[in-house]
Amino acid sequence: MDDLGLYAALIRRGMTRRSFLKFSTAMAAALAMPAAYAPRIARAVETAPRLPVIWIRAQSCGGNTEAMLRSHEPTVSTLLLDTLSLEYHESLLATAGGAAGLSLASAMDRYPGGYVAVIEGALPANPSGGSCLVGGRPVEDVVREVSDGALATIAVGSCAFDGGISAADGTLTDSKGVRDAVGSGPLIMLPGCPLNVVNLSAVIVHYLTFKEWPARDPMNRPLSIYGGLIHNQCERRPHFEFGEFALAWGDEGAQRGWCLYKLGCKGPEVMANCPTVRYGDGVSWNVRAGAGCMGCVMPNFWDAMGPVYKRLPAPVPIVPGVTVDMLGVGMVAAVGAVAGAHAVGMGIRYKRRGRIARREAAAAAASPAAPTGPGDGDHGAGEA
């Protein structure tokens, strides 16, 4: 890696000043910050050194690597090969075998405590059968070694988050996420199937700008990325409010872009920024494309959020027959009953008050006038 800073490397690769400022604005949006922060982000990136990255692929389909290679803003050549200085990635190495192992060891030796470890994929809980070995070693040992010497560890994708599909019921490897393999250093989880590479770059930019990693929830997911309900950011939300739902794939409601909740969309209980950051060059995402959210950023989503195209689980586990619609109707009825009882009670109270007021008025009219004492009325005034 040469000594060029981030901005110099980007300019050398052909990025214009306008594109650079657009990138800074996009990073502010991904971090849920006002656009006013874009100049500060731009200044920080301009003066920041290139951050070394060591990317380890564990048990996975490689979808997160594919997402990174197809990132649009910035492209892989600017985001990682130049901007972040990708020092090691098995899928992109020109070497193999023992030479690849030497490349990894060399990268760790050159930047002790100064590189970012990016981990993709799950860790088999029982690697004795030979599943997912790196240079003859269990991948969990490699991940632990790389993470121990890292500035921070970023787990990308659902498999690295909690095992993903490899940890689903009925699978053979009984895999797990990388949490147990990471030492005391900062751990950032970026679940999703696959990772949205804009979120990865936003986490890195946050560190370069503020010299600290973004605030995270109890599952180590950045709050700026996973702190908002998908349902509240969805472009189909108005149709939900007006009760306009697609009831079958391809029906009139689906063609008109109505809400997909009744077809199994998990948006009302999933926290992520998919509607605002999107995929595919920032053009679309699951719900916009008409497929519905499957909750891939949530824990154990293969089992807990499935089946993909069926309604949400019963909200009352002890009464499986109760659906969300039935519960909603019941709640509306209960609220209506309470409001009705309140109205009846207020009516009775007002009638009672009216009767009391009429009785008091009649009693006052029938009683003789009270005598005036000394100092009262005109006589008292005259004496005064």
Q: Which CATH number fits domain 228-312: 3.90.79.10, 4.10.480.10, 3.10.129.10, 3.90.230.10?
A: 4.10.480.10
Helix, coil or strand: residue 86: strand
The pLDDT value recorded for residue 374 is 47
| 248 Cβ contact list (under 8 Å, min separation 6) | 254, 263
Q: What is the DSSP string of 178-230?
A: SGGG--SS-EEEE--SS--HHHHHHHHHHHHHHSSPPPB-TTS-BHHHHSSBH
CB 204 within 8 A of CB 49: no
- Which contiguous run of DSSP H or E holds residue 30? helix 17-30
Instruction: Give pLDDT tens digits for 298-326.
Output: 999 988 888 888 876 655 444 555 554 45
What residues pair up with 222 in beta bridges, in sequence order?
216
Instruction: Give pLDDT tens digits for 160-208.
Output: 999 998 888 777 777 899 998 897 789 999 999 999 888 988 898 889 8
**pLDDT higher for 373 or 284?**
284
Quote the CA–CA distance of 358 and 353 in Å, as a whole number.
9
**pLDDT higher for 257 or 313?**
257
Quote the CA–CA distance of 302 and 191 in Å, as a whole number.
13
Instruction: Give pLDDT tens digits for 102-133.
Output: 888 998 999 999 999 999 999 987 655 567 87
Is pLDDT of 288 > 60?
Answer: yes
Q: Which CATH number fits domain 6-127+136-224: 1.10.760.10, 3.40.50.700, 3.40.50.1110, 3.40.50.300?
A: 3.40.50.700
Q: What is the pTM of this model?
A: 0.74
List, as own/partner pairs, every contact residues 343-350 make where C-beta atoms lie below 8 angstroms and the sequence separation is at least 24, other chains included: none
Phi, psi values for residue 137, rounded to 5°: -105, 145
Instruction: Give pLDDT tens digits for 16-44.
Output: 777 777 777 878 877 878 788 888 888 88
